[in-house]
Amino acid sequence: MIHLISGVRLGLWLLVGVVLGSGCGPSAAECVARRVHAGVLSPSCPPGLEVPHPSEPLLDRQRFAPEVRHRLESVIRSFGRPDLPRDQRPVALFVLEHAAWEDDPGVVLFQSMTARLAFQFGPEFWSAIPEALLRDELSEAVEILSADPPESSPPERAPSDSNSGANAITRPGPVSIPAPGLDPEERHALAHETFSGGMWRLHERLRRRDGPARACAWRAELLAGLLDGDLIALAEEAFAAPVQFDWGGRSGRAPASSSGPRAEIRHLISTLQRFGFDVWLISGLNQRGVEVAGAHVGLPADRCIGTRNQRDAAGRQTAELAPPATCEGKRAAVKQYVGRAPLIVVAGAAEDLTLLETARELPLAVDSGDAALLKIARDRGWMVHHPSPSREPLGPVRSNLEDE
């Protein structure tokens, strides 16, 4: 009797599919049958979206461990709703830094702008440098670098382990830029090293003393004076061609980052979109930078959440951040911009723990080397994704950002 009822039920849904088949593409009956098998009773399948068949693999077996892949596929099959408008579908939320991307694009952008001297050196920039002595040193370096450099001067200076004579450079610590005996090319290179090394040491002091959220906010404050178009171009340049530079000599060197989206996360985002999830990306990076990064993982600008600087009358960024600042207020930002609790949250750092805790069905920790997060995930029985080292190549994506 149960089998008879189930057969009649399926037959009725197939009949409904024939009648309402215009929203299901070329095979309405198959679409409805697959939705019934998947446990979703609505027969509507908007064009371009799919309903997974129970035996159909959704994720690449080579990119995810079996237990992680099976859990993700189970959630996709159980909760995907391609029949609903996008703003009513279940939410999947990805943190950009260390989860959707291999590293922290905010740090990559900061390093790139520092090495390329791409800041607007107005009053707000210098007010963001908290140490007077370092401020004087950095401003002197900027003054030298703002002049026309010698034709043969390289953009960067490789570190040297041995220096001798009157022109010797002592590391670590401040360097006297007007060192006697330096030719113009050496003086320019030394000023470049002084500025880049000083900015990085300050960043690291803030991060260690006040925490990653403060360092993140400081990076956003340094964007004062820039227009949206400037930020888009700078982010694209930084992500496509990370700089190589000695960030402070033998002590405190920061290797140049090679930022890029994780291939398997890009694949997961695409699959979630196809099967009826509303996918969002969040980061402490400036809003325009998040939009550039989001385009590389297939997300539109209106599904990207980043730190928003207040604007002046000319539309330029100021050093004041609009609440909620996503460096430390990601949870509040999700409530404000998404308005629904996420079903899935994917994050790769312990500072995003409170965000992972909002996942209604699946908190997924990405192993980015954060031992604290991995311990918490193990203690709470959360799934952990151990990514492969592969990354997606970056291509031009400005077309969907320039005209906003």
Q: Are residues 99 and 139 in the same domain?
A: no
8 occurs within a structural domain: yes
377 occurs within a structural domain: yes
Instruction: Specify the pLDDT at position 5.
Output: 47
Query: Distances from the Cα of 336 to the Cαs of 276, 326, 329, in angstroms?
Result: 22, 11, 11
**Residue that is written with structure tokens 């996420």 in the block:** 342
Asked if residues 364 and 383 have their Cβ atoms less than 8 Å apart, the reply is yes
255 occurs within a structural domain: no
22 occurs within a structural domain: yes
Residue where a domain stops, chosen among 205, 240, 275: 240
Domains identified in the chain, total number: 3
221 occurs within a structural domain: yes
Residue 92 CB neighbour total at 10 angstroms: 29
Instruction: Specify the pLDDT at position 246.
Output: 55
Instruction: Specify the pLDDT at position 43.
Output: 45
Q: Are residues 99 and 113 in the same domain?
A: no
Instruction: Specify the pLDDT at position 45.
Output: 52
Q: How many Cα atoms sit within 13 Å of 112 on the Cβ side?
A: 22
Q: Are residues 122 and 216 in the same domain?
A: yes
| Angle at the Cα of 294 from the Cα atoms of 288 and 298, rounded to 5 degrees | 145
Calpha distance 202→48 (Å, rounded): 49
Instruction: Specify the pLDDT at position 370.
Output: 95
Greater confidence, 331 or 182? 331
Q: Are residues 131 and 99 in the same domain?
A: no
Looking up residue 297, the CATH number of its domain turns out to be 3.40.50.1000
φ and ψ at 11, to 5 degrees? -65, -40
Q: Are residues 234 and 266 in the same domain?
A: no
Q: pLDDT tens across 105-114, in order?
A: 999 999 999 9
Q: Are residues 98 and 132 in the same domain?
A: no
Q: pLDDT tens across 247-274, in order?
A: 554 333 444 455 689 999 999 999 999 9
Calpha distance 387→121 (Å, rounded): 39
Beta bridge partners of 92: 279, 344
Q: Are residues 266 and 383 in the same domain?
A: yes
Q: pLDDT tens across 138-192, in order?
A: 999 999 988 865 554 444 433 333 333 333 323 333 444 555 567 788 888 889 8
Q: Are residues 216 and 330 in the same domain?
A: no
83 occurs within a structural domain: no
Residue where a domain stops, chosen among 212, 240, 268: 240
Is 347 a residue whose pLDDT tops 50? yes
Instruction: Specify the pLDDT at position 212.
Output: 92
Q: How many Cα atoms sit within 13 Å of 174 on the Cβ side?
A: 14
Residue where a domain stops, chosen among 240, 271, 298: 240
71 occurs within a structural domain: no
Q: pLDDT tens across 9-55, in order?
A: 444 444 444 444 444 433 444 444 444 444 444 445 555 555 555 56
Q: Which residue segment(s) compose the domain that 287 sits in? A: 91-103+260-400
Q: Considering all CA atoms of the chain, what is the largest pairwise distance in Å, rounded to the nearest integer?
A: 98
Q: Are residues 223 and 111 in the same domain?
A: yes
Exposure of 378 by Cβ count < 10 A (0-12 exposed, 13-18 middle, 19+ buried)?
exposed
Q: Please report the sign of the dihedral spanned by the C-alpha atoms of residue 185, residue 187, residue 193, residue 196.
A: negative
Residues near 75 by beta carbon (within 8 Å), at least 6 away in sequence: 343, 344, 361, 362
Q: What's the predicted TM-score (pTM) here?
A: 0.78
Q: Are residues 352 and 389 in the same domain?
A: yes
354 occurs within a structural domain: yes
Calpha distance 85→82 (Å, rounded): 8
R_g of the chain computed on alpha carbons: 25
Q: Are residues 99 and 119 in the same domain?
A: no
Q: Are residues 96 and 127 in the same domain?
A: no
